[in-house]
Amino acid sequence: MSVSMKAKNPDQSGYNRDGNNVFRHLRDAILRVELQPGAIIDESSIAKALNVSRTPVREALIQLIADGLAVRKGRVVSVAQMDLASIPPLYDALLISSRLVQRLAAEMRTDEELDLIHQKLIDFEETIPSLDGVMLTEANHHFHLAIAAATANTYISDFYRSVLTEALRLHRICFSAHPYNDPDINTHLAETARQHRVIFDAISNQDIDAADKLAVEHHKLSRSRLDTLISRQSQSLKEELGL
């Protein structure tokens, strides 16, 4: 299935001929599940919708492929598929990288980087009352990226960003079937905000061991939430099939 995108006022959105802007537009569409896994990304349709030439679209597709969000088979580019088999290795990579990132951030962070982490923490907390799944996952994503930016190691932060983005896409796919309207969501969000606070404190105090342990605790919370959503999807499917 081929999917094209329609930009909102493309002439006013700064796309012009900037491949980075086209990349961000397509990335957001994939992460918001507007472009479903397996959907073909039609170069010509994208260029027309965003009022750009094909060159920035091609640049954007190259970056999407490099980030693992898209795949190329011959001349066809499509959104990367996701399946249950990818979850264990993805979360293994997320656990290892998040522990390393938080340890390095606690050791290497500057005052300016700490201020940014704190601002992203506040942004997440202020988004909670909306119960908007897209906004909340995005705010959570930016909080963790701010921590990664404090590692003083672009190799590690780039790897972590890639893994974190794939985990974000997985969560978004699950949330698209089960929005933030379940009875335990407020408890989950309150615990997430609490853990963000203690992670920030550990990094602020440059407590490397505490930052490491908290990364493990936060990973368990995220994985537990994902397992719950997957279980609900499985149950819904069984009900639809009358099993």
Quote the pLDDT of residue 83: 72
Mean pLDDT of the 92-99 span:
97
**C-alpha–C-alpha distance, residues 157 and 149, integer Å:** 7
Classify domain 84-241 by CATH number. 1.20.120.530
pTM of structure: 0.76
pLDDT at 169 over 80: yes
> pLDDT digits over 45-93, tens only?
999 988 999 999 999 999 899 888 899 998 899 998 877 778 889 999 9
> pLDDT digits over 134-145, tens only?
888 889 999 999
Q: So where are the chain's domains?
A: 2-79, 84-241
pLDDT class for 121, splitting at 50, 70, 90? very high
CA-CA distances (angstroms) from residue 130 to 90, 139, 185, 191, 217? 29, 12, 12, 16, 25
- List, in order, residues 6 or more apart from 233 with CB less than 8 Å away: 174, 177, 178
Which CATH code of 3.30.160.160, 1.10.3720.10, 3.40.50.300, 1.10.10.10 fits the domain covering 2-79?
1.10.10.10
pLDDT class for 12, splitting at 50, 70, 90? very low
